[in-house]
Structure 1
């Protein structure tokens, strides 16, 4: 399953066979996250994937293309999933918020390398794909803002964005979590922390 498919959470995608391109991209993402963008060469990626130089360039024009191919589908998938979940409970903003949190926690646990890549390497992209990703991210945040302002009447949009970004900081901590706590318990703790942050009294 590609990172974009993971972000979308498609139930039918789990059984699909990954392409060679998807496999190479996953290896590249892992290397970028572990060593940093400048610490990885195309030769390193080819060696890790067992692919020769010409075959590697058949799939990707270079490292920038790999970075864009990793981050753009994820941002698109988060927006699609966020829209679905924000609209899933009409008249029930608390239920919509819980659905958004479940969705994002599942994504964060499945994609720690992609989150690390986004945090540290997004600025390596050329202007156009970087602007596209930033726009998709802003639209995703606005789905949370819509739910939060419905849940907290009178909460200004700007303050709702502060709360949303604070919750993302909690949920996107997965690249830094060790393995001493099993995945199910990590999910429960992240959901509880994000829920507590977003349901806190905003009038004080």
Structure 2
């Protein structure tokens, strides 16, 4: 006989298996971040990924397409994640800010190569994807601005925007941090520094 526990037990969904395209893109991002966009050829990427030229072009039209594929989804997911965290705390600006900081610090620690790519290579994109990324970024910044102006009513929106960009500078420093400090401690330091920069305490 089937028990209630057995009937109600659900199997967690299996994590999505990474595709070959995802693997190639990750390798390309790492190479772009370490050598610069112009310092990497499609042959370099194919060699590092163990993929022949025709197979590589089956996944991406070229290096430019790889940049677009790396940067647009990241900007999209940051905006979506930021909105989710703000929505969790509709009347608690301090809790929302803490959640935003936790979210962005974890992103920055997990994706230093993507951050380096964004900092140094964004202007190499064609106009339309570059405008799309900039728009997503502006919307993400405004999530922070809304929380900051609620938490600190003395700030004008433009002033809160200055603080938000300064906070991103702190959190997005991960490409330049060595491994001397353990990851959890790095996260704590970045969170504390960002919170202090935004609130003064």
TM range (shorter): over 0.9
Distance 1:160 1:181, change over 3 A: same
Shift of 1:125: 0.2
1:14 Cα deviation from its structure 2 partner: 8.3
Which residue of the partner structure matches residue 180 of structure 2? 180
Superposed structure 1 runs of 4+ greater than 2 Å apart: 12-15
Q: How far, CA to CA, are the matches of 1:143 and 1:52 in structure 2?
A: 43
1:164 matches 2:164: yes
Task: Please state whether the residue corresponding to 2:51 is helix, strand or coil.
Answer: coil
Tell me the number of residue pairs that the alignment of Structure 1 and Structure 2 aligns.
190
Change beyond 3 A, Cα 1:191–1:156: same
Q: Is 1:81 matched with 2:76? A: no
Q: Structure 1, residues 37-92: CA drift from partner, whole Å, max 9, x if none?
A: 00000000000000000000000000000000000000000000000111211111
Q: Which has the larger radius of gyration?
A: 2
Question: What root-mean-square deviation, in Å, do the aligned CA atoms of Structure 1 and Structure 2 show?
Answer: 1.3
Separation in structure 2 between the aligned mates of residue 139 and residue 91 of structure 1, nearest angstrom: 20
The answer for the alignment partner of 1:20 in structure 2 is 20
SS of 1:84's partner is helix
Give unpaired runs (5+ residues) of structure 1.
1-11
Q: What are the superposed Cα offsets for residues 130-156 of structure 1, whole Å, 9 maximum, x if unpaired?
A: 000000000000000000000001310
Query: Any gaps of 5 or more consecutive residues in structure 2?
Result: 1-11
2:39 counterpart of 1:39:
yes
Residue deviations 1:76-134, cap 9 Å, x none?
A: 00000000111211111000000000000000000000000000000000000000000
TM-score (norm 1): 0.91
Partners of 1:90 and 1:130 in 2: how far apart? 32
User: TM-score under structure 2 normalisation?
Assistant: 0.92
Alignment match, 1:125:
125
